[in-house]
C-alpha cells in the first residue's frame, strides 16, 4: 500500500531533471551565481558573497524552476582544474558560461577556454547560455559588446543566448534561467540524453 | 457488502473509522426481506447511503489534504537536506536532521580517511591544537572535537594500514563529511589510493556526505599538485555530491583551514 501511494505521489509530483554545467574562468562568479540561484529559487539564504572561497572541485545546487528540476554543477575555473571540465560534458543538458564583464583582461582567456568547450565532441548540441556577469560594477561591458568581442564561429545550430546579469544583485538571472529551461526542453540533445539514459537503465536491469 | 466497505476503507487514511462504521453493518442489501419500496427499511437504507457518501467525501478530502501536506513537507526537507533521496522511509532521519539544523548546536561527524602514512593523524592534531605532534602509525582511531566557524566538528582519524582498512566501514553511519588524505609525494601508491577512495564513495551509508580531499605533503620535493591528484583519483567521476581538493602541508600548516572553510560552508548550506 505504501509503495502504491509512494508511486502515485512520485508520479504526480516528480519532474524532469536537467543537468546544467556552470563553467568560466577563475573569478568569473560561478559560485556566486550558484548561491544566488539557490537564494532565488529555494528561498534559502545562500552563502554571503564574502564567505565564498575559490572552488577547487565541484559544487552542486538543486533548484526547481517552473516544472523542471535543475541539477547545477559548478566546477572550479583555475587553469589546472579545467582539464576535468570535459569529463562532465557527456551528461550535461546545457552549459552556462560565465564571463566577468568588468575585467577585459580576462576576455582572451575566456574566449579560448569557451572555444575549447564548444569544440569538444561531448558538448555538441548543448544549449549555451553566456552570461556577462558583474553588471553591478560601473565599467562592465554589455552583452552585445561581449558577443562582438567573442565572435564565436562554432555555434552552428546550437541554441544560445548572451545575457547581461549580476550574480551580486540578481539582475537578469531569472530571465536567463527561464530561457535555459525552455531551450533544454526544446533541444534535441535532451532527447538524445534521455534515450541514452533509458538504454543504460534497461541495460542495468 | 460489509466486506466491500472495508476494502474501500483500506487505502484511505481514515481507516481508523472503520469500527464505528461497522455498527451500521447490518446492511439491508444483505437482508433477504429487503424490499426497495417498503418505508422503514428504505429510510434506513437512505440514511446508510448518506452516511456512506459523507464518509467517502471526508476521507477523500483528508487524503488530498495529506498529499498536499506531504508535498510541503518534502519541499521543506529538500531545502534542508538538498540532495538526499526524498524517500519517505528516510523521513525520520531527515526530520531529526532538519530539527537539529534549526535548533541549537550544529555538529558534524567527519571521518579522516586515507592510506597509511598519508598524514591523517598529523592533520587531526594540527587542526585541533595548531601544532605538529610526532605520531606513530595509528592502530584503531583518534577522535577529537574541533570547533570551527560555529560548527562543532567531531573528527575521527582512522588507521590506514591495509589490514585495518576493512574496519573503516564500522564508522560510516551518520557521517556528514569525509576528509580523504593523499600523500602527494607517494606517486607509486596513487592507484591504490584511488581504488580505496572509490570503494568508499560507493558505500550506501556515505551517500549524502560531502568529500574534501587533502593533497597533503606539498612541502616535499616531487609532490604533485592538486590538478594531477584530481586526475589520478578520477574525481570527475563524482557527480552527485560536492567535493573539493586542497593542497596542504600538515607540517607547515598550509591549506588545512582553507579546506575546513569550504567544509563548514558546505555543511551549513545543507551539504549533499
A30: contact with B, CB 8 A cutoff: no
Q: What is the pLDDT of residue B201?
A: 92
A176: CATH: 3.40.50.300
Q: Which of B23, B71, B128, B161 is catalytic?
A: B161
Q: What is the pLDDT of residues A80-118, one digit of tens each?
A: 888 888 888 888 899 999 999 898 888 889 989 988 888
State the smallest CA–CA distance between residue B236 and chain A in angstroms: 6
Hey, of B230, B258, B260, B272, which one would you mutate to test binding to chain A, going by the most A CBs within 10 A of its CB?
A: B230
The answer to whether B70 contacts A9, with C-beta atoms less than 8 Å apart, is yes
Q: What is the largest CA-CA distance in chain A?
A: 62
Distance of alpha carbon B60 from its chain centroid, rounded? 33
- In percent, the amount of chain A with pLDDT more than 90 equals 12
Residues of chain A contacting residue B208, judged by C-beta atoms under 8 Å apart: none
Whether A196 is covered by a domain: the verdict is: no
Whether A117 is covered by a domain: the verdict is: yes
Q: What is the pLDDT of residues A14-53, one digit of tens each?
A: 667 889 999 999 888 898 899 888 888 887 776 777 778 8
Q: What is the pLDDT of residues A110-147, one digit of tens each?
A: 989 988 888 888 888 889 999 999 998 888 888 888 88
Quote the mean pLDDT of chain A.
84
Cα separation of A3 and A9, whole Å? 10
Q: How many residue pairs from chains A and B have C-beta atoms closer than 8 A? A: 77
Q: What is the ipTM of this complex?
A: 0.76
- Averaged in consecutive runs of 10 residues, what is the pLDDT profile of chain B (272 residues)? 45 46 46 56 84 90 88 69 51 60 68 92 91 89 88 89 90 92 92 93 90 94 89 88 91 90 82 52
Q: What is the pLDDT of residues A146-157, one digit of tens each?
A: 888 888 776 777
Q: What is the pLDDT of residue B92?
A: 62
Whether A202 is covered by a domain: the verdict is: no
Whether A4 is covered by a domain: the verdict is: no
Residues of chain A contacting residue B214, judged by C-beta atoms under 8 Å apart: none
Q: How many domains, in total, are found in chain A?
A: 1
Q: What is the mean pLDDT of residues A60-74?
A: 87
Torsion of CA B152, B154, B155, B156, to 10 degrees: 180
| Pure H helices in A28-142 | 30-42, 86-89, 107-119
Q: Do A21 and A34 touch, CB atoms closer than 8 A? A: no
Q: What is the pLDDT of residue B102?
A: 52
B265: contact with A, CB 8 A cutoff: yes
| Contacting residues for B130 by C-beta, under 8 A, at least 6 apart | B253
- The DSSP output letter for A142 is P
Nearest Cα residue to B13 out of A144, A1, A164: A1
Residue B237's φ and ψ, nearest 5 degrees, are -75, -10
Whether A197 is covered by a domain: the verdict is: no
Whether A66 is covered by a domain: the verdict is: yes
B148: contact with A, CB 8 A cutoff: no
Cα separation of B190 and A76, whole Å? 22
Residue of B88, B244, B269 with shortest CB distance to A55: B244
Q: What is the pLDDT of residue B8?
A: 46
CA atoms within 13 A on the CB side of B136: 2
B11: contact with A, CB 8 A cutoff: yes
Whether A102 is covered by a domain: the verdict is: yes
Residues of chain A contacting residue B74, judged by C-beta atoms under 8 Å apart: 13
Is B130 labeled as ligand-binding?
no
Phi-psi group of B231: left, alpha or beta (phi > 0 → left; psi -120 to 50 → alpha; rest → beta): alpha
A56: contact with B, CB 8 A cutoff: yes
Residues of chain B contacting residue A87, judged by C-beta atoms under 8 Å apart: 236-237
Domain coverage including residue A157: 14-191
Q: What is the mean pLDDT of residues A54-59?
A: 86
Whether A8 is covered by a domain: the verdict is: no
Reported pTM: 0.69
Amino acid at each position: 500500500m505504501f509503495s502504491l501511494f509512494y508511486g502515485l505521489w512520485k508520479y504526480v509530483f516528480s519532474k524532469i531533471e536537467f543537468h546544467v554545467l556552470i563553467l568560466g574562468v577563475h573569478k568569473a562568479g560561478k559560485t556566486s551565481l550558484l548561491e544566488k540561484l539557490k537564494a532565488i529559487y529555494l528561498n534559502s539564504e545562500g552563502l554571503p558573497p564574502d564567505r565564498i572561497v575559490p572552488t577547487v572541485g565541484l559544487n552542486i545546487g538543486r533548484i526547481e524552476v517552473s516544472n523542471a528540476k535543475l541539477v547545477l554543477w559548478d566546477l572550479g575555473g583555475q587553469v589546472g582544474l579545467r582539464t576535468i571540465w570535459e569529463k562532465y560534458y557527456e551528461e550535461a543538458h546545457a552549459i552556462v558560461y560565465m564571463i566577468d564583464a568588468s575585467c577585459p583582461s580576462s576576455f582572451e582567456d575566456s574566449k579560448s577556454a569557451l572555444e575549447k568547450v564548444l569544440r569538444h565532441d561531448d558538448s555538441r548540441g548543448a544549449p549555451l547560455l553566456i552570461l556577462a556577469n558583474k553588471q553591478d560594477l560601473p565599467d562592465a561591458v554589455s552583452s552585445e559588446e561581449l558577443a562582438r568581442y567573442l565572435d564565436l564561429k562554432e555555434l552552428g545550430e546550437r541554441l544560445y543566448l548572451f545575457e547581461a546579469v549580476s550574480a551580486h544583485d540578481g539582475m537578469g538571472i531569472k530571465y536567463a534561467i527561464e530561457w535555459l529551461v525552455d531551450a533544454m526542453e526544446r533541444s534535441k540533445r535532451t532527447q538524445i540524453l534521455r534515450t541514452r539514459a533509458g538504454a543504460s537503465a534497461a541495460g542495468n536491469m | 457488502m460489509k466486506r466491500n466497505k472495508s476494502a474501500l476503507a483500506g487505502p484511505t487514511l481514515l481507516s481508523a473509522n472503520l469500527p464505528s462504521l461497522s455498527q451500521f453493518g447490518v446492511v439491508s442489501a444483505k437482508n433477504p426481506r429487503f424490499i426497495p419500496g417498503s418505508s422503514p427499511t428504505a429510510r434506513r437504507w437512505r440514511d446508510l447511503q448518506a452516511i456512506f457518501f459523507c464518509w467517502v467525501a471526508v476521507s477523500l478530502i483528508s487524503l488530498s489534504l495529506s498529499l498536499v501536506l506531504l508535498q510541503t513537507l518534502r519541499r521543506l526537507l529538500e531545502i534542508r537536506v538538498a540532495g538526499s533521496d526524498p524517500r519517505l522511509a528516510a523521513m525520520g532521519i531527515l526530520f531529526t536532521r532538519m530539527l537539529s539544523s534549526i535548533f541549537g548546536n550544529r555538529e558534524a561527524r567527519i571521518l579522516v580517511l586515507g592510506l597509511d602514512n598519508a598524514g591523517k593523524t598529523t592533520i587531526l592534531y594540527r587542526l585541533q591544537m595548531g601544532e605538529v605532534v610526532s605520531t606513530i602509525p595509528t592502530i584503531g582511531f583518534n577522535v577529537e572535537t574541533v570547533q570551527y566557524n560555529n560548527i562543532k566538528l567531531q573528527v575521527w582519524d582512522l588507521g590506514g594500514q591495509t589490514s585495518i582498512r576493512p574496519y573503516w566501514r564500522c564508522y560510516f553511519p551518520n557521517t556528514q563529511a569525509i576528509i580523504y588524505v593523499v600523500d602527494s609525494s607517494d606517486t607509486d601508491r596513487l592507484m591504490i589510493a584511488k581504488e580505496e577512495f572509490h570503494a568508499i564513495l560507493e558505500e550506501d551509508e556515505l551517500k549524502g556526505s560531502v568529500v574534501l580531499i587533502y593533497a597533503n605533503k606539498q612541502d616535499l620535493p616531487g609532490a604533485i599538485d592538486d590538478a594531477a591528484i584530481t586526475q589520478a583519483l578520477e574525481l570527475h567521476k563524482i557527480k552527485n555530491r560536492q567535493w573539493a581538493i586542497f593542497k596542504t602541508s600538515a607540517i607547515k600548516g598550509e591549506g588545512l583551514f582553507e579546506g575546513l572553510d569550504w567544509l563548514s560552508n558546505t555543511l551549513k548550506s545543507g551539504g549533499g
